[in-house]
Amino acid sequence: MTPYTLSTNSRDTNLSQFVAIERYQKGILARVVCPSVGQREAPIIAAEITEALENANMPKGSSFVLDMSGVTMLTSMGLGMCVDLRKRSEGAKFRPYLSGTSRSLLDLFRMMKIDRLYTVLHSREELGAILG
């Protein structure tokens, strides 16, 4: 996997304190870096990722990977953010993937049926194959 910069505007790199967004050959990886996604963090993360998806200028069918490996707690706002990001990624013609979920977070996604909205990746090899 070779990252590329997302410089479609004046920013050269993503400096958000809640999400790190990287552009790869076959898609975008959005790594949530804050341990808790709640009322304050969810709208900021969603706005950053939405902007990246809209400005990505990638071919139809590219991948959008939401990496939750840094997240330990997710509130209802965080769950809503995940549903919203899936809708926005498909609107931008990206295929949505979910990566790096802990066992408890994946159980929460399964209980709320959010895991059905994404293709869940279980290994680094799958992630590498999807992003190129």
pLDDT digits (tens, 9 = 90+) for 24-55: 989 999 999 999 999 999 999 999 999 999 99
pLDDT at 1: 52
Q: For residue 14, which amino acid is it?
A: N
Terminal-residue alpha carbon distance, the chain: 5
Residue 68's pLDDT band, with cuts at 50, 70 and 90, is very high
Interatomic CA distance for residues 101 and 109, integer angstroms:
9
At residue 6 the predicted structure's pLDDT band, cuts being 50, 70 and 90, is very low
What's the mean pLDDT in 71-92? 94
CATH architecture assignment, domain 19-131? 2-Layer Sandwich (3.30)
Residue with structure tokens 């400005």? Answer: 55
pTM of the model: 0.84
Residue owning tokens 């050269």: 12
Per-residue exposure over 5-42, b if at least 16 CB sit within 10 Å of its own CB, e if not:
ebeeeeeeebebebbbbbbbebbbbbbbebeebeeebb
Indicate left, alpha or beta for 110 from its phi (over 0: left) and psi (-120 to 50: alpha): alpha
Mean pLDDT of 109-124: 92
Q: Angle of helix 76-91 relative to helix 41-55, nearest 10 degrees?
A: 10
Residues in Cβ contact with 96 at an 8 Å cutoff, skipping those fewer than 6 apart: 64, 66, 85, 86, 89, 90, 117, 118, 119
